[in-house]
Amino acid sequence: MRIAFFTDSFRENLGGLTRATIQWYDRLAAAGHSVRVFCLKQTEGSLHAGDVFEVPAVSLPVVVDFAPDSKLAWGYAVVRRELVTWRPDVVHLHTPWPVSWLGLWAARSLNLPVVATHHADLEAAASLPAGRALSAAAGVLARSLYGRCSVVIAPTRFAAASLRALGVRSPIAVISNGVERERFAAARLRVADRRRGTSAFTESRPVTVLYAGRLSPEKGIGTLLRALQFALAEEPRLSVRFAGDGPLRGTVERELRGELSAGRVTMAGFVPWERMAEEYARADLLVLPSPHETQGLAALEAMAAGLPVVGVNAGALPETVVHGESGLIVPPGNPRALAEALLKLASDVKLRRRLGARGAALSAEHDAARCLDQAVELYRALKAARPAALERGA
C-alpha cells in the first residue's frame, strides 16, 4: 500500500509522539509498504532517514517547547499537487497542527480516506508557557480535525475516551503504538542474568532508577525531582540515570548537583532509540511520573525489557502499567508516594523480578507485528470503501 504521513516533525529527538511516528514509518517500510512523510523542515535536529517531502512553511516567533522549530505550514497547492502525483491509498495524520490540516484538505479534495492518530494528551500543553490558552486551542483544533477524518486511531482505551469527551464523533479504532519486543529480548536476558542470585543492594552494584523521556514540564519532572531527593537521602546506595534531554535539563542538574558530583546521578542526554535497549539493560526499574501519557512508550519498552515500572495514576499509565502486576502506580503530583514506591522496589529484589516478568508477558499484547497488522487491515478496509474518484479530483 501507499500511505502518506503528515506530521510537524520527523526528527528523532523530540520525544514519544515523534518516536511513535518514526517507528510506524519504519515498520510499514520494512513490511514492503510505500510511505511518504510530509513534514516541516527541521533546524534543531536532523530528520529521520526516509522518503520525506518538506512542506513549505514560514518562521514564527519562538514558542518555547511547543511548535517544533517554530514554523507555520502553508502551501496547500504544493501539498495537493504532490498527493496527485504520488497517488497514496490512505492519508495518515499524526498531529493536529497546520501540516495535518493541509493533508486533510488536500486528501478530502481528492476523495482519499484520512486516518488520524491521537498521540498526545492535549492537556499537557497547560503546563507550558501560556499553557491554558494553548491547551484550549489544541482541543478545538483536534476536535475539528478528527471530526473530519474517516477514522481516528487511539493507542489506548483512555485515549479513545478522551477523544469522545472532547466531542469527536468519528469512528475510533484502538490500536497500540506497539513495541518491538525482539529488540529488547537480549536486554531482558542480560537483566535476568545480572540479577540472578543478587540481593537488593550490594556494595558493588547499587540499584539504578532510570528515567527515559523528555525533560519538560508536562512530564512531571518537578514531582520527580522532589521524590528523588527523598529517596536518595533515604538510601545512599540508590542511583539515578536520566536518558533524555529538554528545557528542564538545567533545572535537574541544579537541583541534583550534589548527587551529580558524587556520581549517584547520571545525565545521559538524548539517547537514540537504537541504544535504548542498553539503557534498560543497565537499569533495575523505570520511573515515569508524567500525568499526560496517551500510552507511555517508555513504559512498554521497559516492560518488554523485563523492568518493573513506577508510574502515576493519571492518563493512560494505569492501563499500560497494571498496579501490583507490572509495576506500582501512585497518585500524580505526590513526591513522597513516588519516593516510597521507588524505595519499595529498590529494597525488594524478588518483587522487582516478579513485576518485571509479568510486565514482559503483558507487553506481548502490544507486540509491534500484531499492531502493524491491525493498522494495515484498517488501511485496506478504508481503501476498499473509498470512492474511485482520484482521477476526477486530479
Beta bridge partners of 265: 240
Domains of the chain in start order, with CATH, are: 2-178+367-393 (3.40.50.2000), 181-365 (3.40.50.2000)
Q: Give the residue from 296, 253, 361 showing the smallest Cα distance to 19.
A: 296
Q: Which residues contact 137 (CB under 8 A, 6 or more apart)?
A: none
H-only helix segments in the chain = 16-30, 76-86, 98-109, 131-146, 157-166, 181-195, 221-234, 249-255, 257-261, 276-282, 297-304, 317-320, 335-346, 349-362, 368-385, 390-393
pLDDT exceeds cutoff 80 at 298: yes
Looking at the chain, the whole-number percentage of residues with pLDDT higher than 70 is 85
270 torsion bin: left (phi>0), alpha (psi -120 to 50), beta (else): beta
Q: pLDDT tens, 347-381?
A: 999 999 999 999 999 999 999 999 999 999 999 99
pLDDT exceeds cutoff 50 at 393: no
The answer to whether the CB of 4 falls within 8 A of the CB of 90 is: yes
Bigger pLDDT: 185 or 316?
316
CA pair distance 138, 141, nearest whole angstrom: 5
Q: pLDDT tens, 13-38?
A: 666 788 889 999 999 999 999 999 99
Q: pLDDT tens, 226-269?
A: 999 999 999 988 999 999 999 999 999 999 999 999 999 999 99
Confidence of residue 187 (pLDDT cuts 50, 70, 90): confident
Q: Give the residue from 175, 212, 207, 181 showing the smallest Cα distance to 194.
A: 207
CA pair distance 280, 15, nearest whole angstrom: 17
Q: Give the residue from 153, 181, 158 showing the smallest Cα distance to 374.
A: 153
pLDDT exceeds cutoff 60 at 62: no
Q: What is the pLDDT of residue 102?
A: 96
Look-up of cell digits 469512528: 171
Cell of 215: 525533560
Q: pLDDT tens, 197-218?
A: 555 445 457 899 999 999 999 8
Whole-model pTM: value is: 0.87
The answer to whether the CB of 115 falls within 8 A of the CB of 94 is: no
Residue 179 phi, psi (nearest 5): -140, 135
Residue 156 phi, psi (nearest 5): -145, 165
